Amino acid sequence: MTANQVVVVGAGIVGVSSAIYLRRAGFNVTVIDPLPSPGGASFGNAGIISADTTLPIALPGMLWKVPGWLADPMGPLTVRKRYLLKAMPWLMRWVRAGFMDRVIPISEAIRSLHKDAWDVYRDLLTPDAFSDLLRPGGHVQMWNGDEVSKTGKLEHEIRTRLGVESQRLSRSDLRNMFPGIADKPMTGYMIRGNGHTVSPRRLVRHLCDVARAEGAVFVPERVMKLIPGEAGGWTIMTNAANHLAEKVLVAAGAWSSSLLDPIGVKLPLDTERGYHAMIADPSIALPYTILHKDWGMSLSPMDEGLCASGTVEIAGVAAAPDENRARILAQKARYVFPDLKGRDPILWMGCRPSFPDTLPVIDAAPGHRDLYLFFGHGHYGMTGGPTGARLIAQMMRGSAPSIDMRPYSATRF
């Protein structure tokens, strides 16, 4: 084993950003992933860098909306019947996380993790790469009708409380901002501190190049088991080899539990599967991403086309995708932009790694030496992943992380 050797399991945004910060912290870094990066959720997400988004996914009053969503085949949430029993404990925790006494501290923890996202991307990328890949400067949330929903109002209150600015948008503001948008009652907010990447895929690939240039090694293998050494260190058994490391960082997104359960690290991680329909050569060009809050759908202008993405499907990591959920997103995009034309959409499904309280785990593994946990960013991994990577590298180096890490602890559940 090389001295100071760390193995990072997983080469999504979380693993790759960690590899860079671990190299900068002086470790020898090997990243193991069987797929060319990014092969997981980091490939096809909506690409919104939600630096000024502060609200968790579970919110007060949501429980009463769930039956309506589940009954609506076009709705933003579905739970596959066969998976319902397995998902029940996670769903109960999700409901509990939506009580007001939890929403405020969770929002504060989201804020702490998200607020430096742009600075961290500037730290990871050269100025040229930053301006090629990222578009700070705004993101629009919208609702049907003239009124923002109750949860939208709550989100605005929390933003204000946390010192985040946003501006209310009228129907005519939206029509001026987005030519071709439906001529229907609608309202929204502009969040200037958010922005987007023009390609999550290209952004993560570029970060791999940065990691390689800074000395990280990538190994295309699947980790099958993590075996603690009697005298310290770890053997990482893959489909093709045994790798030795002083420390292991598990950053395998929604698949992390499959490596941790066998060694007794049990966490309530599940996946909120999401979909996208990528419409190449779209007839519209958006200046900002739009998050349609009533429909749980984002519209993001990307290199590859207009990306209509979103929805939550609770069905585990292994079930086959339901391509209709992606098709519905393309249909909904046409409700927002009735004259939208483009090529037949490319359909995609990705597994968001999610804890019920929206927050990731960024921590040392309880009960094990030199094993670290870094996954569960849910809807916000492109935003909180790189900042969390800087924090976990500080933790693994033995220095005090720059923010209070208790909200992201592995023992909070």
Ligand X SMILES: Cc1cc2nc3c(=O)[nH]c(=O)nc-3n(C[C@H](O)[C@H](O)[C@H](O)COP(=O)(O)OP(=O)(O)OC[C@H]3O[C@@H](n4cnc5c(N)ncnc54)[C@H](O)[C@@H]3O)c2cc1C
Given the rule CB under 6 A, which residues bind ligand X? 9-15, 32-35, 38-42, 45-48, 50, 222-223, 251-255, 259, 274-276, 309-310, 350, 352-353, 375, 377-383, 385
Amino acid letter, 194:
N
The residue among 171 and 327 lying less far from ligand X, judged by its C-beta, is 327
Least distance from C-beta 42 to ligand X, angstroms?
3
The residue among 63 and 263 lying less far from ligand X, judged by its C-beta, is 263
What phi and psi values does residue 41 have, to the nearest 5 degrees? -60, -25
Least distance from C-beta 303 to ligand X, angstroms?
15
Least distance from C-beta 288 to ligand X, angstroms?
13
Least distance from C-beta 251 to ligand X, angstroms?
6
Q: Which residues, 6 or more positions from 54, have their beta carbon under 8 angstroms from its beta carbon?
A: 107, 108, 110, 111, 114, 155, 158, 159, 162, 164
Least distance from C-beta 101 to ligand X, angstroms?
26
Least distance from C-beta 143 to ligand X, angstroms?
18
The residue among 117 and 158 lying less far from ligand X, judged by its C-beta, is 117
The residue among 63 and 162 lying less far from ligand X, judged by its C-beta, is 162
Q: Which residues, 6 or more positions from 214, have their beta carbon under 8 angstroms from its beta carbon?
A: 20, 23, 24
Nearest to 49 by CA among 338, 361, 382: 382
The residue among 189 and 275 lying less far from ligand X, judged by its C-beta, is 275
Least distance from C-beta 34 to ligand X, angstroms?
6
The residue among 12 and 282 lying less far from ligand X, judged by its C-beta, is 12
Least distance from C-beta 21 to ligand X, angstroms?
14
Please give the torsion angle defined by the CA atoms of residues 155, 157, 163 and 168, in that order, rounded to the nearest 10 degrees.
80
The residue among 176 and 242 lying less far from ligand X, judged by its C-beta, is 242
CA distance readout (Å), 396 to 186, 393, 413: 48, 5, 22
Least distance from C-beta 210 to ligand X, angstroms?
15
CA distance 352 to 43: 11
The residue among 110 and 184 lying less far from ligand X, judged by its C-beta, is 110
The residue among 9 and 110 lying less far from ligand X, judged by its C-beta, is 9
The residue among 103 and 297 lying less far from ligand X, judged by its C-beta, is 297
Least distance from C-beta 253 to ligand X, angstroms?
3
